[in-house]
Structure 1
Amino acid sequence: MRPHVARKLAEVEASYRLAVPAAHRCGLQTCQEDGECGFPTRCVALPSDLSDDGETAWRQEGFDNGWKAPERRVWWKRLPVIRHIAALRLSWQVHTYAGAWAEVGIGIGGPHPQDLWVVEGAYHGYW
């Protein structure tokens, strides 16, 4: 593309962008990439609600796909060593189940993304 055409195209795209209020700069991944909120009408997270451990991104992924996290575990099941062993066991069960269905010709062998999302949450202690 010619430089002067690219510049004009960028100016046209910029004219269609709406100014996002500072209250919507919540720090989610979509907001950090380009400095603008990707969903200003649905943005519910405030900067004070965010944590640096990735739980917000994990919950946002579940919200975007309509998935619900399992019931919150008791505190001792969320301790690091216990939750890592439990997540390993859960991951083994998920992959075995998906592999069993793939052997009889149903599915392609990989687990459902929601199952992997739950395993990730168990590993990190989000639920």
Structure 2
Amino acid sequence: IAAFVNPGGACVHLISVRGGRVLGSKNFFPQVGIEEEVAEVMAAFLSQYYLGNAERELPGELIVNVVHEDFEAITEALHTLRGRELTISHRVRGTRARWQQLAVTNAEQALNARLANRQHMAARFEALAEVLKLD
């Protein structure tokens, strides 16, 4: 799981891997404040995504690109709710590091694509307003 934040917004990219194979991936675009830190975005996402839905599959390990002081509390809460141990890892090597970097790259690219699309749509609306002579 990787979080990426820039002044235009935030993206969290989740890659599901089991047995060395990618099962799927998904982008999430949480609403964030202007000065929101990437670690805060990650902590909020983990809490909402895994604690907010008891039916969601909980892996034994989450590999993240940032650390936050609340991770210990999150793992304890998940253990209490689900009765299952969970490890949140940050510093990984080898194949796991490549998955982590892939998630970071995907989060950054997804956010940049989303922001570029918004700018493109705004430009098209402005052009349409000009053609229609709207103020």
Q: What TM-score comes out, normalization by structure 1 length?
A: 0.26
Larger RCO (CA within 8 A; separation ≥ 6)? 2
Larger Rg over CA atoms: 1
The answer to which structure has the higher helix fraction is 1
The answer to which structure has the higher strand fraction is 2
